Amino acid sequence: MFDLTGKNALVTGASGGIGADIARALHKAGATVALSGTREAPLAELAAELGERAHVVTCNLSDAAAVEALPKAAADAMGSVDVLVNNAGITRDNLAMRMSDEEWQSVIDVNLTSTFRLCRGVLRGMMKARWGRVINISSIVGTTGNPGQVNYSAAKAGMVGLSKSLAFEVASRGITVNCVAPGFIQTAMTDKLNDEQKGRILAQIPSGRMGSPQEIAAAVLYLASAEAGYVTGSTLHVNGGMAML
Amino acid sequence: MSDIADRVKKIVVEHLGVEEEKVTENASFIDDLGADSLDTVELVMAFEEEFGIEIPDDAAETIQTFGDAVKFISEKA
């Protein structure tokens, strides 16, 4: 339904469960994709799976200079960056009373500050093109909170505020900025939970199941499409009804 | 009029969609030519590309009028 032929998309965290499916969905819709992540091997594997129109641009998002360089590297590989998906994220969970400054800062740096830097880096090209899509992957916990995740939830809520302000600034140039906020999604991260933990989580989800990475990718695909041009500054919650926002 | 002023004027006319006669020495981009803050950022970007120069943020803030732009660029280019 959504055609991204001729569009170039940069996806961070593309080696992860959700990021890989986002890249697959955009690619399937016709986009050229630049796959970013810290580890080259899984990115190269994904690029090989996708075949043509797939590039690997490794980047350590905790390295400020590397983040600054990423938009240019992606544009050099693809010709431009028309769609930016800030999907990469890390967790360093701890109770607030035990959380170190380092645990706090590393999550803010990678999840929030790199999002800002990448947005800033791609805007020039998008403004000139009078077209652009920025999709930031937030999280349900940015809205609901979650014990042990003051750093992560602050970063994810921060992405929502960032997206709204940026959406204001660039709306007149045909650029939309939105968030997708996943609930509990079946990935390597949630596979580590034991049955009891899973049971407790599932009891809170009206759908009675975890979401799939493809269901997040579908939301991203919609927001990246021409059809979503009038949607900006919004957050699309994909959480099986766990929080109806 | 100098070559630089002509090129600057062309950018301003194209970008802001204003008539050439309105782009005078003291014409303020925002007050007289209808630019918003994002337009001024884009104008600076366009000047940088046209003349192959870098205009730092603190300098960009001082470029309020067409005359300011021509003066700054003439000194740099």
Closest residue in chain A to residue B43, using alpha carbons only: A128
> What's the rounded mean pLDDT across residues B4-14?
96
Hey, which residues 38-77 in chain B have their CB within 8 Å of chain A? 38, 42, 45
The residue whose two tokens read 């799976």 is: A49
Q: Does B34 touch chain A (CB under 8 A)?
A: no
Contacts of A173 in chain B (CB under 8 A): 38
| Residue A187, CA distances (Å) to A15, A21, A79, A192, B32 in order | 12, 11, 32, 9, 56
pLDDT, residue A242, reads 96
ipTM: 0.78
Closest residue in chain A to residue B46, using alpha carbons only: A128
Q: Output the six-digit token pair for A185.
A: 């999604």
Q: Output the six-digit token pair for A4.
A: 């991204």
Instruction: For residue A135, give the nearest of A227, A22, A21 by alpha carbon.
Output: A22
CA dihedral A123, A137, A177, A36 (to 10 degrees): 20
The residue whose two tokens read 């020039």 is: A124
Hey, are the CB atoms on A172 and B38 less than 8 Å from each other? yes
Q: Each residue of A87-116: pLDDT tens digit?
A: 999 999 999 999 999 999 999 999 999 999
A115/A169 Cα distance (integer angstroms): 16
Q: Does A120 touch chain B (CB under 8 A)?
A: no
Contacts of B38 in chain A (CB under 8 A): 127, 169-170, 172-173
Q: Output the six-digit token pair for A105.
A: 């800062």
A5 CA to chain B: closest CA distance, Å?
Answer: 27
Contacts of B42 in chain A (CB under 8 A): 127
3-state secondary structure of B15: helix
Q: Each residue of A203-220: pLDDT tens digit?
A: 999 999 999 999 999 999
Contacts of B36 in chain A (CB under 8 A): 172
Q: Each residue of A217-238: pLDDT tens digit?
A: 999 999 999 999 999 999 999 9
Q: Can you give the pTM of this predicted structure?
A: 0.92
A211/A207 Cα distance (integer angstroms): 9
A127 CA to chain B: closest CA distance, Å?
Answer: 8
pLDDT, residue A191, reads 83
B73 CA to chain A: closest CA distance, Å?
Answer: 21
Query: What is the secondary structure of A169-231 as a DSSP string?
Result: HHGGGTEEEEEEEE-SB-SHHHHTS-HHHHHHHHHT-TTSSPBPHHHHHHHHHHHHSGGGTT-
A154/A141 Cα distance (integer angstroms): 9
Can B31 be counted among the known catalytic residues? no
Residue percentage of chain A with pLDDT more than 90:
92
Given B6, B31, B36, B68, the catalytic residue? B36
Strands A132-137 and A83-86: parallel
Q: Does residue B1 carry a pLDDT above 60?
A: no
